[in-house]
């Protein structure tokens, strides 16, 4: 049977849309009290979550991203109405990027306006990358893509309906904060920024760099989840370092295609690590 998966309204580096069949097949099949996803990105895994999870707690370090997901849940039409009036030109893109860069976490602003700008920049910026300069300003250039207003409206509505059904708790912050309340029997899907397969594969697509040091800290954190009796599934790149880091757990190698960080598509291996 061919299952039709929901696509996110965002393009995201490392987005898991294409891997959903493999990924969801690895998810636990029994009833689980709470699903956790602390590296939410485009939200596409949450948007296709099977029905055996009673509650969901999700988050990301990128607070503007989380505000965008929350706003889509509450009022997708309001977001679309704003987008609908914007011309798809380089000048307007640059203007919105300047506005976006003036938003700071503790400012008072309209979350729907921020969400509209976030989605616009994501869909019309180069490869949907979230690339920042040293001062933390988004500097992704204009991508010269079509903005498919009607497709976006459809996607926002579908995702909003899913979010209202799942009613996730959205948290802005680092993964250890998002996972603070995990309890024995809960399930966590971890999709951190991957350890680069080689130095030239390193690219800035997110808010922070997540290098070998951060992956070692994450492994220690995963060990504490394991000791607590929390089930976890983790995605990462297939490298000698990641395999060494997780050698005490079950590791599966999978073939996939990355399209966002390399010029030509080629099969690259990833790993899935789990403790159940």
3-state secondary structure of 220: helix
Which is closer to ligand SAM, CB of 118 or CB of 175?
A: 175
DSSP H helical ranges for the chain: 20-26, 44-47, 63-74, 76-84, 90-101, 111-124, 149-166, 175-178, 212-228, 240-245
The interface region with ligand SAM, picked from 12-20, 78-86, 195-203, 264-272 by CB under 6 A, is 12-20
Q: Could you say which residues in the range 147-176 bind ligand SAM, by CB under 6 A?
A: 174-175
Q: Are 116 and 83 in contact (CB under 8 A)?
A: yes
Nearest to 231 by CA among 190, 174, 195, 192: 190
| Structure tokens belonging to residue 37 | 């996803």
Among 9, 53, 57, 60, binds ligand SAM (CB under 6 A): 60
Residue 84 within binding range of ligand SAM, rule CB under 6 A:
no
Q: Are 117 and 99 in contact (CB under 8 A)?
A: yes
Q: Are 273 and 254 in contact (CB under 8 A)?
A: no
Residue 207 within binding range of ligand SAM, rule CB under 6 A:
yes
The residue number with the shortest CB distance to ligand SAM is 41
Minimum separation from the CB atom of position 104 to ligand SAM (A)? 17
Among 76, 168, 193, 196, binds ligand SAM (CB under 6 A): 193
Residue 206 within binding range of ligand SAM, rule CB under 6 A:
yes
The interface region with ligand SAM, picked from 136-144, 190-198, 221-229, 249-257 by CB under 6 A, is 190-198
Residue 208 within binding range of ligand SAM, rule CB under 6 A:
yes
Residue 186 within binding range of ligand SAM, rule CB under 6 A:
no
Among 15, 143, 168, 196, binds ligand SAM (CB under 6 A): 15
**CA–CA gap between residue 156 and residue 241 (Å, rounded):** 39
Phi, psi dihedrals of residue 55, rounded to the nearest 5° = -125, 160
**CA–CA gap between residue 112 and residue 79 (Å, rounded):** 6
| Structure tokens belonging to residue 33 | 């009290």
Residue 270 within binding range of ligand SAM, rule CB under 6 A:
no
Residue 62 within binding range of ligand SAM, rule CB under 6 A:
yes
Nearest to 36 by CA among 55, 13, 63: 55
Residue 12 within binding range of ligand SAM, rule CB under 6 A:
yes
Residue 195 within binding range of ligand SAM, rule CB under 6 A:
no
Minimum separation from the CB atom of position 60 to ligand SAM (A)? 5
DSSP string across 56-68: EEEEES-HHHHHH
Residue 16 within binding range of ligand SAM, rule CB under 6 A:
yes
DSSP H helical ranges for 184-211: none
Among 23, 45, 171, 179, binds ligand SAM (CB under 6 A): 45
Binding site for ligand SAM (CB under 6 A): 12, 14-16, 38-39, 41-42, 44-45, 60-62, 174-175, 191-193, 206-208, 210
């Amino acid at each position: 049977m061919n299952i039709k998966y929901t696509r996110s309204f965002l393009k995201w580096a490392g987005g898991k849309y294409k891997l959903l069949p493999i990924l969801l097949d690895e998810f636990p099949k029994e009833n689980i009290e709470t699903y956790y996803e602390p590296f939410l990105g485009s939200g596409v895994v949450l948007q296709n979550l099977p029905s055996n999870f009673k509650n969901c707690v999700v988050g990301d370090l990128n607070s503007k991203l989380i505000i965008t997901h929350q706003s889509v849940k509450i009022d997708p039409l309001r977001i679309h109405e704003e987008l609908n009036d914007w011309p798809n030109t380089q000048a307007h893109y640059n203007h919105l990027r300047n506005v976006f860069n003036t938003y700071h976490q503790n400012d008072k602003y309209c979350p729907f306006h921020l969400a509209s700008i976030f989605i616009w920049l994501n869909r019309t910026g180069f490869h949907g990358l979230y690339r920042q300069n040293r001062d933390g300003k988004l500097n992704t250039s204009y991508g010269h893509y079509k903005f498919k207003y009607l497709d976006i409206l459809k996607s926002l509505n579908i995702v909003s309906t899913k979010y209202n059904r799942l009613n996730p708790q959205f948290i802005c912050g680092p993964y250890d904060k998002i996972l603070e309340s995990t309890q024995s029997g809960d399930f966590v899907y971890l999709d951190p920024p991957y350890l680069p397969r080689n130095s030239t594969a390193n690219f800035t697509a997110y808010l922070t760099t997540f290098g070998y040091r951060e992956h070692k800290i994450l492994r220690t954190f995963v060990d504490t989840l394991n000791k607590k009796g929390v089930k976890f599934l983790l995605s990462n790149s297939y490298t000698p370092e990641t395999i060494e880091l997780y050698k005490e757990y079950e590791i599966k190698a999978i073939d996939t295609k990355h399209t966002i960080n390399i010029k030509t598509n080629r099969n690259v291996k990833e790993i899935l690590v789990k403790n159940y």
